Structure 1
Amino acid sequence: MPKERLIVFQRGHKVGELAQELFPGGVNMSPGHPAAFRKALVNTQEKIKEGFPVIYEAAFQHDQVMIFLDILVHTGSGWHAYEVKSSGGISDTYLLDAALQYHVITGTGIKLSGISLVHINKEYVLGDEVDLKGLFKIIDVTEEALSRRKYVTEQIIREKEALGLEHSPKIDVGPHCREPYDCDFLGHCWKNVPVPPEKEPKDQINAEAFRKVFSDLPKDAAFVKLLPMRAAIPMYRGTHPYQEIAYGYGLMINGKTSARIFGNDSNPEEQLKTELKSAPEGISTLICFGQGHKLRNLMPGGVDVLDLRDHILKDSSFYTSLKDKSDLERLKIIFGLEKDKKLSEYVSDAIAEHYYLKDFPDEGVEEKIEEYASSYLQTIHDLYSYLRSI
């Protein structure tokens, strides 16, 4: 499993634990390892029989399907199920998940008064302390779950049949292979699918506009990479969930790189702003990739920002490939840039952010983040040279 996806799951666990405080005093049925799954099922049923009012990670099994519900609460009208999502909204994937949860729980004989999704309220602004009722939105999705129950039941039958086959099922490839996540069998199913011919690079870049900008570019231009974090649970007064906050930056001037990383005891972007007010002497233009808007808001007047991403045509395969993310490896692969002889251990903003929040300033973490910033700066430099050659 990609490290970025693992990080998303870990973020979900953290949000789920905080959401439990909406219904305090519960007992946790979460198993420590797969061997304890059966015990979790037994323990959950025991707590339900005892009438325990709040159960976290309640385990249920029906129709050979096992689920763990984030929060089960006994109300005056019966049991209500709550499934927590760390995202800022509700998707059809989440509604299908709720439908599956509802199907399995009620299939065990438990009568549910309803099921709700609990998700992050992206409009919430942190005050002096976290207000859980403001941070989370609780949406009753009982009707949506019931309307999808027939599909869920049929899908369980199909998946059981697939598991019983001697060979992998004959299903055409398509968008479903990557929704909602990349399938683990992508390499197997797509290995014989011909790759469509790529457009010529010059047809994917707004070369004329770039040449015009480049011709006016001063020789003292420098390259910059902001190090952003997007915490699901806001950390600083006045900020909101998933707000992008720069906690450091890397700078390349005349081929030499340097990095600056600020501590997270207070909002690091405020420290970064103060430092950027005095731009490096002699630097009038900064070159970046995909961070132009953020940099223009941070930089003092008199410093121009050139965002290389702005010159990639929106109908190109380059743009499509970079739509969701532009990590280190993807940039190099898409543009055919020379790969690092030794790739940075942190190959994306998400991984660098994870270790920054988890371990900084422990020994080694700052060094690895600086190494990542340096590698990214070199990639921006190489991409700049590539665009100049078109």
Structure 2
Amino acid sequence: MQGNLREIDVSSVFRTLAREQRTGELLIETLTGRFWFVFWEGGRILYATSAEGQGNRLRDYLHGTSLLRALEKTTGGNETLEYNGLWAVVRHGHLPPLDARNILQHMVAEVLFDVLPLCEGRFAFESQRGLAPHLAAFDPLGLCREALREVQQWKRLYPTFRHPEQRLLRRTEEDLGAALAGLHLDPTWLDGKTSLRRLARYSQNSLLAIAIALQPLVVAQSVVLLPAGAGQRPRSHKGTVVWVDSSLTVCRTVEYLLGRQGYQVAAVTDPIRALGLVFQVQPHLIVGDGELVGLDGYQLCAMLRQSAQFAKTPFVIATQQEFPAISQRAQAVGATATLRKPFAESDLLAMLDRHLLPTQNGVGRKYRDPNYSHFN
């Protein structure tokens, strides 16, 4: 199931998935490359996230609490998928399931606020097993109604508020406690670095509630708004990667995670298209899914090794299989390394560090991890 948002709106897509009781992942992507994922089980929403959300969003919701330390402890301080991190703090008894459900509902509402107004872009639904374990399941129609109501009210706050990523700076020393009463909003967060969206996460309020409370302070110039993204540095170009994977979700996530680190990434689900991209963009690194149907990563690697142009280009096989079972096969086709799926952001960055960042010896730093196997 896929389509163009000019022809069918997001609300209609949600109604169809709910009516047909679908299970799988819904990708929503804008023309500018922003994208979101909504996970479904039997026509109900289990979880929703944006690529930008991974890594920091859960930490925002746990901001200023001992739970943030618990998250670091349960994940070993490593980057992990947001949903897995939330489940970890619940499983270890640090967070009651009801509180986890409330956080999930805020996360889903945040995504719906962004995607429901979209009128350009595309969507694609992949049927597959639902998320496990289940922390909650939400009625999509009720959440959509509430999100659309908030979107309409948000538009009435224009031009005071233009974007959820606008940042706020407190200009006076006057007590703002009365204005922020009931929102659990610490005035010290108005530091010129924290966006409206992060303020909503910190206090576990809706974006609309935060904006309504702050509007009088902005009008009175007690608080000033800074542009979205103020102070962010431009990214440098570190190298080019072609990635082919059977999952559209993996492709879009990899594009975002590596793109924000300064890599140029072309991630596709079609191995034939990937083969053409390799010759077109001349990548510094190629990653192929070992479980692709038709032309898998092993076959793709073997084909490229026949070309003098790509005989020495690093090629990594991404696979769900155990390393002892596939290392011999990967080496036989000339692969440089294997990467175990599922992987964390830290695994990806360390892999690229190993292959693309030069050192005095001409290669990247050594990387040892149970999810990664290098053959040289």
TM-score (norm: length of structure 1): 0.25
TM-score (norm: length of structure 2): 0.26
Larger-gyration structure (1/2): 1
